[in-house]
Chain A
Amino acid sequence: MSDVILSIKDLKVSYGGIEAVKGISFDVKQGEIVTLIGANGAGKSSTLRAIAGLVKPSGGSISFEGEDITAADPTEIVKRGVTLVPEGRRIFADLTVLENLKIGAYLRHDDLKDDIEWVYSLFPRLKERSWQPGGTLSGGEQQMLAVARALMSRPKLIMMDEPSLGLAPIIVRGIFDIIREIHRQGVTILLIEQNANMALQTADTGYVLETGRIGLSGTGAELLSNEDVKRAYLGS
């Protein structure tokens, strides 16, 4: 259970001359929860967007299961089993919960019944709201839907961009419970968070990003007790 499935080498992302990610390297092992934490503008989201193929990196390489996916388009990347839960949930507001889930499985052509049952068992709330338009759900439910939708593609690696954004503390705890549950079911997770405390408690490995570079790295527990991290991100 310790083989590397995602490997990032010297990744650089720039937007019209402004370099948001300035050469970062890290590995994600099979069955791990890895978290990237850092302040706004540290390059966390850009890293995920580059892995998902939504932006083309300006340098470096990304490989998944040993194969290079640096220049692949998003369709190809989702097909290989890497799915992004985008920042700010971005569910399809006018479509029903069920339609949202079906779009998550767009690239699959087999029977979806078992998977729909599976995500509904993970999120019983969504089952109750199956025929409601996504936009009528509460913020927490929308986040659940965003995660459920991503799970419908049967990803090997699910990447979450700030799943706790704008949610009440009790809901955030629920979301992290779900993240652990998904992890238990064998999905590798790459998590981006500003809520460093929750993220590091959940993660096996953590990386601290500072203005486009990796400042610190270690296991979740190590980083939690690191004085620099405490001062900068945990507020103590």
Chain B
Amino acid sequence: MSAVTLEKKSKKGSALAFLGVLAILALVIVLENTLNPNKNIIVFTALKKGAVYALVAASMNLLNGFTGLFSLGQAGFMLLGGYTFAILTIPVAERANVYYIFDGSAINFSLTEAMQNLFGGSGVGGAVGFVIGAIIALICAGLVAAFFAWLIGLPVLKLKSDYLAIATLGFAEIIRAIFQWEALGKITNGANALKNFPTLASFNITNSNGEIVLRLSTFVAFAVAAICIWLMVLLINSSYGRAFKAIREDEVAAEAMGINLAKHKRMSFIISSFFAGIGGALLAMFMNQVQAKTFTSTMTYEILLIVVLGGIGSISGSTIAAFLYMACSEWWLRFLDVPTSFKTAGGYWAFVIILALLAVGITALLVLRRRKAGARKFSEMWSACVLGVVILGYDIYYYVSATAKVPFLNSGFRMVVFSVIIMVVVLFFRKGLFGDKELSDVFRSIGRIKKAAPAKSEGGAAK
């Protein structure tokens, strides 16, 4: 295979990926405008949050997975981005209301309003101005986060592995404390939330009566995330991306090849923080408000979990894991929080059948393991059946009594099940769902297997 044909193939691949993303964006618009948003509020919450977290997880992966710098400062940079966006875009008329504790804001200027006025106040011009203002504010959010990354990058990036993690975690905590500081209240509103700035819902198109004509709120989250992730993929596939990977693999060899370690590490740190800042702004737009206390280290761990689940060093992995994670925690497992989930006729039978299958499955699995270990007599195997018998017994009791409440189904149980699922995933996929492979690699290897299969059968015939 010559280099030329492979290049052509990868061009074809990126064109396909581009079309795929466009199709997803179109699907989001269609879904949002056909499904009733009030009835399906959980679905759209999961989708929007998934998009935001996909962006942030990809930015974390750029640093942790591709450059091999273990940083835990993501929440801090998101906070910087979220606050920057809010401070720049709260409408001037709302400022007194938002900052009422501090007698108004020190900044009496709104980027989105200024742009709206520039493009003609209301109507189409106003909308264009609003979008441009929001884009500029998003970029500013990224730039502020990037500036702080540059500032702390100088001393902090000299540290390695866990020490770097602790230093960046400390930075995030300090930033959170500073933004809650009363003395900065005129700008940050102290410990109180900033609100009334443009949110994702502000992008819905309304007619003159204020009725929504076209819903775009989920689309906006997806579009911003898609553009940012696309830029990151471009960076990773460029020669800079190769240098990052070289540093991850072997710092000494990378340096011997002439790669300036300090410069490239700082570059990766700054770019990662830039996108984390945009992600933070997007999260603020999703939550309709921004408050320092939400950007805790727990948030960073959540993102880290997504990165690990998706695969360290795989942007596709981070993106898909973010959506799966949000779908699980916000949507698919919700029924576990409601005691009456299985009270409907269908739910009742589903529960009885699932439990029976679970009992049989567990018993079969345990018995097989014993047999593999060499057990043949019943006296050696009976203990493997105990768990299955107990589950089956409970199932029969539940079936007979019919009114028995399902135990554990209560608010919070969802997170218990979710944790177990995550543990199982990590046990079975040691390197995450994707390892360090991308979606394109998966398709390529499927193509190779398809091609290899007929070749094998020919070989068999020749024999």
Chain A contacts to B: CB under 8 angstroms = 52, 54, 73-75, 77-79, 83-86, 90-95, 99, 102-104, 106-107, 113, 116, 130-131, 149-150, 153
Closest 4 A/B residue pairs (Cβ): A78-B258, A92-B249, A90-B253, A107-B258
**Which residues of chain B are near A149, meaning CB under 8 Å?**
257
A203 shortest CB reach to chain B, Å: 22
Interface size class of B (residues with CB under 8 A): 20 to 34
Interface centre among A86, A92, A150 (most CB of B within 10 A): A92
**Which residues of chain B are near A83, meaning CB under 8 Å?**
256-258
Do B246 and A90 have beta carbons less than 8 Å apart?
Answer: no
Between-chain CB contacts (< 8 Å), 17 pairs = A52-B256, A54-B256, A74-B255, A75-B260, A77-B258, A78-B258, A93-B250, A94-B245, A95-B245, A99-B242, A103-B245, A103-B246, A106-B242, A106-B243, A106-B258, A107-B257, A150-B257
Docked Cα-Cα span, A202 to B255, in Å, equals 28
Nearest A residue to B239 via CB reads A106
**Which residues of chain A are near B260, meaning CB under 8 Å?**
73-75
9 additional contacts (CB under 8 A) given A90-B252, A106-B243, A130-B1: A75-B259, A78-B256, A85-B256, A90-B256, A91-B253, A95-B249, A99-B245, A103-B259, A113-B3
Asked whether B254 is an interface residue with its Cβ less than 8 Å from the other chain, the reply is yes
Docked Cα-Cα span, A84 to B243, in Å, equals 17
B285 shortest CB reach to chain A, Å: 37
Asked whether B436 is an interface residue with its Cβ less than 8 Å from the other chain, the reply is yes
B22 shortest CB reach to chain A, Å: 29
**Which residues of chain B are near A94, meaning CB under 8 Å?**
245, 249, 313, 436
**Which residues of chain B are near A52, meaning CB under 8 Å?**
256
Contact of A92 among B1, B253, B255 (CB under 8 A): B253
**Which residues of chain A are near B243, meaning CB under 8 Å?**
103, 106
**Which residues of chain A are near B255, meaning CB under 8 Å?**
54, 74
**Which residues of chain B are near A102, meaning CB under 8 Å?**
239, 242
Do B257 and A78 have beta carbons less than 8 Å apart?
Answer: yes
Nearest B residue to A92 via CB reads B249
Do A95 and B256 have beta carbons less than 8 Å apart?
Answer: no
Docked Cα-Cα span, A95 to B66, in Å, equals 11
Nearest A residue to B251 via CB reads A90
Nearest B residue to A161 via CB reads B256
Do B254 and A103 have beta carbons less than 8 Å apart?
Answer: yes
Chain B contacts to A: CB under 8 angstroms = 1, 3, 239, 242-243, 245-246, 249-250, 252-260, 313, 436
A151 shortest CB reach to chain B, Å: 12
**Which residues of chain B are near A106, meaning CB under 8 Å?**
239, 242-243, 246, 257-259
Docked Cα-Cα span, A85 to B249, in Å, equals 16
Docked Cα-Cα span, A112 to B216, in Å, equals 45
Docked Cα-Cα span, A74 to B313, in Å, equals 27
Docked Cα-Cα span, A79 to B243, in Å, equals 16
A183 shortest CB reach to chain B, Å: 20
Docked Cα-Cα span, A80 to B154, in Å, equals 27
Do B3 and A116 have beta carbons less than 8 Å apart?
Answer: yes
Nearest A residue to B261 via CB reads A74
Interface centre among B3, B257, B313, B436 (most CB of A within 10 A): B257
**Which residues of chain A are near B252, meaning CB under 8 Å?**
54, 86, 90
Nearest B residue to A85 via CB reads B256
User: Contacts A95-B249, A113-B3 hold; do A84 and B242 have CB atoms under 8 A apart?
Assistant: no
A51 shortest CB reach to chain B, Å: 11
Docked Cα-Cα span, A94 to B253, in Å, equals 14
**Which residues of chain A are near B242, meaning CB under 8 Å?**
95, 99, 102-103, 106
**Which residues of chain A are near B258, meaning CB under 8 Å?**
74-75, 77-79, 83, 106-107, 153
B252 shortest CB reach to chain A, Å: 6
**Which residues of chain A are near B254, meaning CB under 8 Å?**
92, 103
Interface centre among A74, A77, A103 (most CB of B within 10 A): A103
Docked Cα-Cα span, A229 to B249, in Å, equals 39
**Which residues of chain A are near B3, meaning CB under 8 Å?**
113, 116
B13 shortest CB reach to chain A, Å: 14
Nearest B residue to A159 via CB reads B256
Docked Cα-Cα span, A29 to B409, in Å, equals 81
Nearest A residue to B263 via CB reads A75
B463 shortest CB reach to chain A, Å: 26
A38 shortest CB reach to chain B, Å: 21
**Which residues of chain A are near B245, meaning CB under 8 Å?**
92, 94-95, 99, 103
A164 shortest CB reach to chain B, Å: 18
Nearest B residue to A77 via CB reads B258
Docked Cα-Cα span, A93 to B68, in Å, equals 14
Interface centre among B1, B252, B253 (most CB of A within 10 A): B253
**Which residues of chain B are near A116, meaning CB under 8 Å?**
3
B286 shortest CB reach to chain A, Å: 35
Contact of A93 among B1, B249, B259 (CB under 8 A): B249
Docked Cα-Cα span, A79 to B245, in Å, equals 21
Docked Cα-Cα span, A176 to B245, in Å, equals 30
**Which residues of chain B are near A93, meaning CB under 8 Å?**
249-250
Docked Cα-Cα span, A107 to B242, in Å, equals 12
User: Contacts A94-B436, A106-B242, A113-B3 hold; do A86 and B256 have CB atoms under 8 A apart?
Assistant: yes
**Which residues of chain B are near A84, meaning CB under 8 Å?**
256
**Which residues of chain A are near B1, meaning CB under 8 Å?**
130-131
Docked Cα-Cα span, A103 to B254, in Å, equals 8
Docked Cα-Cα span, A111 to B243, in Å, equals 18
A124 shortest CB reach to chain B, Å: 15
A138 shortest CB reach to chain B, Å: 18
B452 shortest CB reach to chain A, Å: 15
A139 shortest CB reach to chain B, Å: 16
